[in-house]
């Protein structure tokens, strides 16, 4: 590659007579030369152009309910506050007619309306026909199920895309005598045998969504104790889940949360009771500012506010139901995906791109609001250097994307750089305001004629004039999930001091095992603290005066959940946490592993009467959701106003000892930085003990 050409602001997609301004850095990349992921997922299967659909999301405020709009290929938006992003669904998933409102018709009339609580499960897919969600003699406990990439009915659609089933329809289907696989095909949760190829999660014996739903609300068929715990499930599009970076999940997750609260409104109207909602999100994001201002964090907060306000308006000030958002803290503690400067105003990032990576890699760099200009220098492994300057940064009037393509041919880029202020939330004292996104092409292209980026150690250096705080950066994950195969290989920060004592000390502990925490006097930019999921930082939102600003009341903040091992007990080595000195998460840890030799817990398989194993903070979160839902179901409506989920969880858990030495994989204890002060380890709910706990002795 002899030269890099710079093409400013290639952030539009032209279709016919319309121009779409893509206001999302990841969608920009996918439509401006970085289509390798979408094309490789669809190659020789379906036409990628059939998947050119977009989502327009209005600017979120605490007073308005977000109303996303699905747009056809090339549609335009005139609002500069709209976020336009890719929604990877097929044309057949979008109905022609208008979306109709839903009136709730209960599938089971034997419920105690005073004890109904809703658990919303947003995941890769839940087998809604699994018997774990239907007690003997009753209808299914799943009230609504949405397959976002299912075939849309062209008339009478009740969702903006995909297909929906009500509890009555699910129950009737289960009574038909057909196998669960047949029912999943028939109702759009997996492709029919005579339809074009589409990936799906039910090809495997286990799938993440069914496991999570089982941990949150599954029960044996003769167990009616959870009858009043009702589920609303959302199956996100397979191509969103397959995107190893997770960037394509934003629109899907946003729509899913809107759906859960809409259906909760319909149920509340039917039962004439404000129904509490526990929303479980066991998918995380490795990008985001970690200050409560990530777009989806704001959306979830706005939706919770709106739901509670609606319930207050209908049922009165003393009947505002609890709305608890349970979010997994993330599994990236030891993956070297977070970096923080050792001084203000500059950050040198050693980014290791691995060979034979067929998926894009993304780097997010966050600058403080105080920065008046920025300069970014990229050095390739072979020594080519390019500097890009961003001047005139004004936090009061943040500029739109300033995008640059780096390649010999701008139509075939190997790297793309944008700078924006996606949160547009001034006055945040924790400084993360300006976001730089560096998108790297795959290091191995599987499409003839498309260039590949150079593998090896890339140096990305950033300076910010006027900066009053330390710059931070995160690499987005690049690992397959939900059983989908992928040739993606995770990029990571690498100081490249092989043979150097400081490198060795930063990567390994004194036993030679993998270090799981930062050294007390860290000299490397690589930091394990701060690897927490970008969706788990709601409590860090601040008002302009610096005071905390929880989204919908101090007692209604989101609960982020870490994972611990049962045998010691101690934090799992991958369980992520926040920067030292911050207070957002996790404040509780739930069991997600039995021991280092049996690193998993048990849950349902994809189909009835099968079992599977899983671990991670995504498995810990639904255990907390189950505990909260069970308690809320037994609460009197008069106690809703005083309910604090965090205080309640603290009464259940045990505060761990605070070791004075640095935690290692071979050591014991839980570092204070990996569990918020006053945070607790939670016991297993009694209903899960027999199913989840396993014999701690290794089997031969």
pLDDT per position as a tens digit, 257-312? 999 999 999 999 999 999 999 999 998 888 888 877 777 887 888 888 889 999 99
Under the banding of pLDDT at 50, 70 and 90, the label for residue 80 is: very low
Type and span of the H or E element at 264: helix 249-271
Report which of residues 21 and 317 the model is more confident about. 317
Q: How many CB atoms lie within 10 A of CB 110?
A: 11
Report which of residues 167 and 66 the model is more confident about. 167
Under the banding of pLDDT at 50, 70 and 90, the label for residue 408 is: confident
Residue 74 confidence (pLDDT):
31
Does 126 score more than 60 pLDDT? Answer: yes
Q: What is the pLDDT of residues 84-96, one digit of tens each?
A: 666 777 778 888 8
Residue 21 confidence (pLDDT):
60
Residue 555 confidence (pLDDT):
42
Residue matched to tokens 């996100």 = 236
Helix 208-217 vs helix 617-633: crossing angle, to nearest 10: 30
Does 432 score more than 90 pLDDT? Answer: no
Residue 363 confidence (pLDDT):
96
**Highest mean pLDDT: which range of 63-67, 206-210, 440-444, 519-523:** 206-210
Helix 295-315 vs helix 249-271: crossing angle, to nearest 10: 10
Report which of residues 412 and 417 the model is more confident about. 417
Residue 260 confidence (pLDDT):
96
Which range among 13-17, 283-287, 377-381 shows the weakest confidence by mean pLDDT? Answer: 13-17
Cβ-Cβ contacts under 8 Å for 13 (sequence gap 6 or more) = 19, 20, 22, 31, 52, 74
The H-assigned helical ranges of 489-572 are 501-507
Under the banding of pLDDT at 50, 70 and 90, the label for residue 314 is: very high
Q: Cα 650 vs. chain centroid, distance in angstroms?
A: 25
Under the banding of pLDDT at 50, 70 and 90, the label for residue 81 is: very low
Report which of residues 76 and 299 the model is more confident about. 299
Closest CA to 560 of 541, 534, 581: 534
Euclidean distance between CA atoms 665 and 30, whole angstroms: 39
Report which of residues 364 and 643 the model is more confident about. 364
**Highest mean pLDDT: which range of 11-25, 69-83, 223-237, 424-438:** 223-237
Mean pLDDT estimate for the chain: 80
Does 442 score more than 70 pLDDT? Answer: yes
Residue 509 confidence (pLDDT):
65
Euclidean distance between CA atoms 396 and 413, whole angstroms: 32
Is the CB of residue 66 less than 8 Å from the CB of residue 299?
A: yes
Cα dihedral across residues 182, 185, 191, 196: positive or negative? positive
Does 499 score more than 60 pLDDT? Answer: no
Residue 55 confidence (pLDDT):
61
Point out which residues pair with 346 in neighbouring strands: 463
Phi, psi of 267, deg, nearest 5 = -70, -40
Residue matched to tokens 């105003």 = 345
Which range among 133-137, 176-180, 684-688 shows the weakest confidence by mean pLDDT? Answer: 684-688
Phi, psi of 90, deg, nearest 5 = -75, 160
Which range among 306-320, 539-553, 611-625 shows the weakest confidence by mean pLDDT? Answer: 539-553
Does 699 score more than 50 pLDDT? Answer: no
Residue 53 confidence (pLDDT):
58
Is the CB of residue 66 less than 8 Å from the CB of residue 60?
A: yes
Which range among 23-27, 121-125, 341-345, 386-390 shows the weakest confidence by mean pLDDT? Answer: 23-27
Average pLDDT for residues 542-559, to the nearest whole number? Answer: 54
Does 441 score more than 80 pLDDT? Answer: yes
Percent of the chain with pLDDT over 70: 75
Report which of residues 185 and 38 the model is more confident about. 185
Does 2 score more than 80 pLDDT? Answer: no
Provide the 8-state DSSP code for 98. Answer: P
> CA dist 433 to 102, 430, 478, 660, Å?
40, 9, 24, 34
Under the banding of pLDDT at 50, 70 and 90, the label for residue 5 is: very low
Does 507 score more than 90 pLDDT? Answer: no
Name the token pair of 515.
């270090």
Provide the 8-state DSSP code for 534. Answer: T
What is the CA angle 441-445-451, rounded to 5?
65
Which range among 130-134, 310-314, 655-659 shows the weakest confidence by mean pLDDT? Answer: 655-659
Under the banding of pLDDT at 50, 70 and 90, the label for residue 362 is: very high
Is the CB of residue 292 less than 8 Å from the CB of residue 427?
A: no
Point out which residues pair with 378 in neighbouring strands: 386, 460
Residue 673 confidence (pLDDT):
53
Does 543 score more than 70 pLDDT? Answer: no
Under the banding of pLDDT at 50, 70 and 90, the label for residue 76 is: very low
Residue 428 confidence (pLDDT):
56
Residue 52 confidence (pLDDT):
53
Establish whether the linkage from the previous residue to 366 is cis, with ω within 30° of 0: no
Does 369 score more than 50 pLDDT? Answer: yes
Does 204 score more than 90 pLDDT? Answer: no
Report which of residues 21 and 597 the model is more confident about. 597
Which range among 153-167, 373-387, 499-513, 603-617 shows the weakest confidence by mean pLDDT? Answer: 499-513
Average pLDDT for residues 651-659, to the nearest whole number? Answer: 74
Does 476 score more than 80 pLDDT? Answer: yes
Name the token pair of 413.
């880029």
Does 447 score more than 90 pLDDT? Answer: no
Residue 117 confidence (pLDDT):
97
Residue matched to tokens 């300069």 = 375
Euclidean distance between CA atoms 46 and 144, whole angstroms: 30
Under the phi-then-psi rule, with left for phi > 0, alpha for psi from -120 to 50, and beta for the rest, what region is 483? left
Average pLDDT for residues 567-589, to the nearest whole number? Answer: 76
Average pLDDT for residues 538-567, to the nearest whole number? Answer: 64
Instruction: For the domain made up of 12-47+339-507, give the CATH fold.
Output: Jelly Rolls (2.60.120)
Does 68 score more than 50 pLDDT? Answer: no
Euclidean distance between CA atoms 176 and 477, whole angstroms: 42
């Amino acid at each position: 590659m002899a030269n890099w050409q710079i093409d400013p602001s290639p952030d539009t997609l032209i279709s016919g007579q319309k121009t779409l301004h893509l206001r999302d850095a990841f969608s920009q990349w996918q439509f401006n030369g970085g289509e390798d992921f979408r094309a490789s997922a669809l190659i020789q299967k379906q036409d990628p152009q059939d998947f050119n659909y977009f989502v327009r999301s209005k600017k979120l405020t605490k007073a308005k309910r977000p109303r996303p709009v699905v747009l056809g290929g090339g549609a335009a938006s005139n609002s500069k506050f709209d976020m336009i992003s890719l929604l990877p669904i097929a044309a057949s998933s979008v109905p022609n007619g208008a979306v109709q409102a839903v009136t709730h018709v209960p599938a089971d009339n034997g419920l105690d309306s005073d004890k109904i609580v809703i658990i919303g499960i947003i995941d890769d897919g839940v087998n809604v026909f699994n018997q774990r969600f239907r007690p003997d003699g009753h209808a299914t406990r799943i009230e609504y199920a949405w397959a976002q990439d299912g075939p849309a009915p062209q008339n009478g659609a009740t969702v903006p895309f995909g297909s929906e089933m009500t509890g009555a329809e699910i129950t009737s289907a289960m009574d038909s005598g057909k196998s669960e696989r047949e029912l999943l095909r028939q109702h759009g949760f997996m492709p029919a045998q005579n339809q074009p190829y589409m990936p799906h999660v039910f090809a495997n014996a286990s799938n993440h969504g069914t496991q999570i739903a089982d941990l949150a609300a599954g029960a044996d068929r003769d167990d009616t104790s959870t009858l009043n715990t009702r589920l609303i499930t959302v199956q996100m599009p397979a191509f969103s889940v397959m995107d190893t970076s997770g960037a394509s999940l934003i629109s899907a997750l946003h729509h899913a949360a809107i759906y859960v609260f809409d259906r909760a409104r319909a149920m509340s109207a039917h039962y004439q009771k404000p129904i509490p909602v526990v929303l479980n999100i066991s998918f995380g994001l490795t990008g985001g500012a970690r200050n409560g201002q990530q777009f989806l964090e704001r959306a979830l907060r706005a939706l919770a506010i709106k739901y509670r306000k609606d319930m207050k308006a209908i049922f009165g000030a003393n009947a505002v139901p609890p709305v608890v958002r349970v979010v997994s803290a993330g599994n990236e503690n030891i993956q070297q995906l977070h970096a923080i400067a050792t001084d203000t105003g500059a950050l040198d990032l050693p980014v290791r791109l691995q060979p034979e990576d067929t998926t894009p890699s993304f780097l997010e760099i966050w600058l403080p609001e105080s920065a008046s200009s920025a300069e970014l220098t990229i050095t390739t492994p072979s020594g080519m250097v390019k500097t890009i300057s961003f001047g005139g940064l004004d936090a009061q009037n943040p500029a739109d994307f300033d995008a640059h393509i780096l390649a010999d041919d701008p139509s075939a880029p190997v790297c793309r750089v944008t700078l924006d202020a996606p949160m547009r939330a001034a006055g945040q004292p924790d400084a993360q305001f300006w976001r730089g996104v560096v998108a790297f092409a795959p290091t191995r292209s599987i499409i003839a004629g498309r260039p590949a980026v150079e593998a090896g150690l890339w140096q990305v250096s950033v300076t910010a004039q006027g900066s009053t705080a330390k710059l931070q950066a995160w690499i987005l994950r690049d690992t397959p999930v939900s059983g989908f195969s992928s040739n993606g290989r995770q990029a990571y920060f690498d100081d490249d001091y092989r043979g150097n004592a400081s490198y060795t000390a930063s990567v390994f502990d004194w036993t030679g095992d993998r270090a799981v925490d930062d050294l007390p006097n860290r000299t490397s930019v690589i930091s394990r603290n701060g690897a927490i999921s970008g969706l788990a930082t709601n409590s860090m939102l601040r008002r302009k005066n610096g005071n905390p600003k929880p989204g919908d009341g101090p007692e209604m903040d989101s609960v982020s959940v870490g994972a611990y091992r049962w045998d010691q007990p101690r934090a799992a080595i991958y369980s992520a946490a926040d920067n030292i000195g911050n207070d957002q998460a996790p404040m509780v840890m739930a069991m997600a592993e039995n021991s280092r030799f049996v690193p998993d817990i048990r849950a349902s398989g994809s189909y009835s009467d099968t079992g599977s194993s899983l671990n991670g903070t995504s498995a810990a979160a639904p255990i907390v959701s189950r505990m909260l839902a069970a308690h809320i179901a037994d609460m009197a409506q008069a106690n809703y106003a005083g309910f604090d989920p965090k205080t309640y969880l603290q009464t259940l858990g045990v505060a761990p000892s605070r070791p004075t030495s640095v935690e290692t994989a071979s050591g014991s204890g839980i570092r204070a930085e990996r569990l918020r002060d006053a945070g607790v380890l939670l016991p297993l709910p009694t209903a899960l003990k027999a199913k989840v706990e396993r014999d701690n002795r290794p089997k031969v």
